[in-house]
Amino acid sequence: MLSILKDFLLNLFFILLPVFLVPLWTEQEKGPKRLRLYLPTACYAIVIILCITLPVNAGNDFIFDLRQIPLWVGSLYGGAGPAALLALVTIVYRSLFGGAGVLTTVVVSIAIAAVSSLWTKRFVSLPSKQRVLLAVLLSFASGLLTVTMAEWIVDNPPPLLLSLTFLLVQPAGMLIVCAAREMVHHNMALRKRIIRAEKMEAVTHLAASISHEIRNPLTAARGFIQLIEEQPLAAEKRRQYARIAMEELDRAEAIITDYLTFAKPAPETPEKLNVKLEVERVIDIIRPLANMHCVDIHTTLAPFSVIGEREKFRQCLLNVIKNAIEAMPNGGTLHIHVSIDNGRVLIRIADTGVGMTKEQLERLGEPYFTTKGIKGTGLGMMVAYRIIESMNGTIQIESEIHKGTTVSIYLPLAPSPSPSTISDKEKQLFAVL
């Protein structure tokens, strides 16, 4: 009796392993989707083989084990494809051992696969508790079918006590396995919901504070324009009010430039971006500002590719380059250099500006940290960090006060285009030459 229990527990252990381990792997959402879909099935197939190999009781004709549990679970949760596959594995592997039990296995496995395929949709849409109950009942039914066939078909049936034990233990095992599976999945769903809620909270929080930041200068500007309109004012006062209004509008615009492309709700899709073209585009946008500050821009660009969302990548470059130019109010040189460093794309943006102290450097990237007073938003670097993070890259900053700052952006190199497309272009080039 004790040895029977021991073997049942060993079977149960095999079955519980994938119940706990597979969700951990599939949750990472790495690897091809098809593989993730069939991973549970593959695990259950291995478990079925293990159960038959290390059974609870093996006579000449019959092998008693808990293989029906992984067969039911894999099929009910997986659908018709996994059901057929698992039934096939069971039948083929059990056939290797021979005996009258093979016929029972064939009939019972096909019955399980057929019932699961028909019921899988209804099964997964049931509430959790009912799913467990149904699975237990089904495993009892398949156990009953097995025992009936075993007792009546052959001349020397297995001992009745063994059959009865099997009849009771299988549903009990199913109860444990199914309840554990439901619990694991429930916890996983809960965790996903919490993570999403946290993200939403961060976004709402930021959006609220930024709309507040934009509303303030707009209200101030509106107030001054109203003053100009309503009261007869001396020319000097009018000019002063108009200047304040314009400054406030500039501030609102600065916040929008630093943040809004980033927060744009339209979902963008990541694509292959040519770093050279993107940097050139951003330089085009920023050149008026550079000219205003008497800043020379020197570039050595190379057309490496990275994966990311175009608008966000531009926003990030814009924020970093804008800071560099703003750090050189009396003119200077801005170097932008693109190269490969240790297999990663390196975009180095170096200025000869005011630089930063160690304390400033440490606070860089904090929302609303700025040394530019009313003109700064303190959002630019935060946004840049977020974007580079989302592209799986990193930012390193070196700075020396009164000497300048170098921002190094490292990004994973996108897979290179297939050789044929390059060689086509090269062929054309050679033809011209």
Give the footprint of ligand ADP on this chain (CB under 6 A): 319, 323-324, 327, 351, 353-356, 360, 364, 369-372, 376-382, 405
Structure tokens at 400: 């020396």
Based on CB atoms, which residue is closest to ligand ADP, 175 or 260? 260
Packing angle, helices 128-153 and 68-78, rounded to 10 = 140
Work out how close the CB of 199 gets to ligand ADP at its nearest, in angstroms, rounded to a whole number.
22
d(CA 124, CA 231): 72
x/- map, 291-330, Mg ion, by CB under 5 A: --------------------------------x-------
**What Å distances lie between residue 359 and 193, 320, 355, 367, 405, CA to CA?**
37, 19, 12, 15, 14
**Residue number, 99 or 365, with CB nearest to ligand ADP:** 365
Q: State the binding string over 340-379 for Mg ion (x if CB under 5 A, else -).
A: ----------------------------------------
With contacts defined by CB under 5 A, how many residues of the chain interact with Mg ion? 2
**Geometric angle at alpha carbon 248, from 243 and 250, rounded to 5°:** 95
Binder of residue 369, out of Mg ion, ligand ADP, none (CB less than 5 to 8 A by kind): ligand ADP
Q: Which position among 79, 157, 332, 380 is part of the footprint of Mg ion (CB under 5 A)?
A: 380
User: Least distance to ligand ADP from the beta carbon of 321, Å?
Assistant: 9
Closest distance to ligand ADP from the beta carbon of 360 (Å):
6
Query: Would you say 15 or 364 has its CB closer to Mg ion?
Result: 364
Q: Which is nearer to Mg ion, 165 or 323 (CB)?
A: 323
Nearer to Mg ion, 353 or 380 (CB): 380
Taking the complex as a whole, the smallest distance from the CB of residue 403 to ligand ADP amounts, in Å, to: 10
306 contacts which partner out of ligand ADP, Mg ion, none, CB within 5 to 8 A by kind?
A: none
Question: In this structure, are residues 306 and 273 in contact, taking their beta carbons and an 8 Å threshold?
Answer: yes
Q: Which of 314, 277, 281 is nearest to 388 (CA)?
A: 314
DSSP string, 264-332: --SPP--EEEEHHHHHHHHHHHHHHHHHHTTEEEEEE----EEEE-HHHHHHHHHHHHHHHHHT-TT-E
Which residue, 136, 164, 129, is CA-closest to 148?
164
Which of Mg ion, ligand ADP, none binds 370 (CB below 5-8 Å, type-dependent)? ligand ADP
Nearest distance from C-beta of residue 382 to ligand ADP, angstroms:
6
> What is the nearest approach in angstroms of Mg ion to the Cβ of residue 363?
13
- Element spanning 351, H or E: strand 344-351
Separation CA 197–CA 293 (nearest Å): 44
> How far apart are CB 212 and Mg ion at their closest, in Å?
19
Question: Which residue sits closest to ligand ADP, CB atoms considered?
Answer: 380
CA–CA distance, 182 with 407 (Å, rounded to integer): 49
**C-alpha span between 386 and 402 (Å, rounded):** 28
Contacts with Mg ion by CB under 5 A lie at 323, 380
